[in-house]
Chains A and B, each alone.
Chain A
Amino acid sequence: DAKTTQPTSMDCAEGRAANLPCNHSTISGNEYVYWYRQIHSQGPQYIIHGLKNNETNEMASLIITEDRKSSTLILPHATLRDTAVYYCIVRVAGSGNTPLVFGKGTRLSVIA
């Protein structure tokens, strides 16, 4: 799996959009970008994944650059409950039998 680089921490005001960047310059053509988050003391939770087109679901949007070397996870209206560590992971899609490789992630603090 390709290595990813994320900022250690970020702050976001409640109600504003939270934009979390991720660099993955060595991503391969068949690798997708996945995002998970871990709220304090809970197990990680899947958020979204994508290959090259922008993706949106009920939790977030994922913007992937045209060269696929970086991406941004967007939480459109951050709430206090979005305070968590966010992990960007690159791996082959449909590889449900492949263990996840977690980096340090970005600690997002949503501030009232």
Chain B
Amino acid sequence: DAEITQSPRHKITETGRQVTLACHQTWNHNNMFWYRQDLGHGLRLIHYSYGVQDTNKGEVSDGYSVSRSNTEDLPLTLESAASSQTSVYFCASSRSQGGNEQYFGPGTRLTVT
């Protein structure tokens, strides 16, 4: 069955380190999204991509970057992790044409100490 996966599921890192969170989908969806979820803020958009070599900034993109070298993957990189980036990160994907539903991954819980 097609699916969307995230790895790692849990990560503890230190302030200042570079961290990359992986997102992989097997639906061949062109659209992929990264959200973060914090208590009191709900889900907020970090970055998104409409296809290979396309990336766009979302509401809370500072300190994060993404790259899209193939259809299946959209890794999220924290260039220099900060304690404010402690959060749960969700990746999602959707079809381009006529797509109504976004499919979400299981999430990655990141703690920056």
Contacts and interface: CB of A to CB of B under 8 A. Distances in A.
B73 to A, nearest CB: 17
Please classify the interface of chain A as helix (H, G, I), strand (E, B), loop, or mixed, using the class held by over half of its residues. loop
Interface stretch (B14-22, B40-48, B78-86): B40-48
A94 B99 contact: yes
A105 B42 CA distance: 8
B100 A93 contact: yes
Interface in A21-58: 32, 34, 41-46, 49
Interface stretch (A66-74, A75-83, A96-104): A96-104
A100 B96 contact: no
Interface string B71-113: 0000000000000000000101011111111111111000000
B50 interface: yes
A103 B96 contact: no
User: Chain B: interface residue count, which band?
Assistant: 20 to 34
B104 A96 contact: no
A40 to B, nearest CB: 11
Contacts of B95: 96
B89 to A, nearest CB: 10
B25 interface: no
B104 A34 contact: no
B30 A97 contact: yes
Contacts of B97: 94, 96
Contact of A42 (B44, B94, B107): B107
B99 A97 contact: yes
Interface of A: 32, 34, 41-46, 49, 93-97, 99-105
Given A43-B106, A97-B94, 16 more contacts: A44-B90, A45-B104, A46-B100, A46-B101, A46-B103, A93-B100, A94-B97, A96-B94, A96-B95, A96-B96, A97-B31, A100-B43, A100-B45, A100-B92, A104-B42, A105-B42
Nearest 9 Cβ contacts at the A-B interface: A96-B99, A43-B104, A96-B94, A102-B43, A46-B101, A94-B98, A99-B45, A97-B31, A96-B95
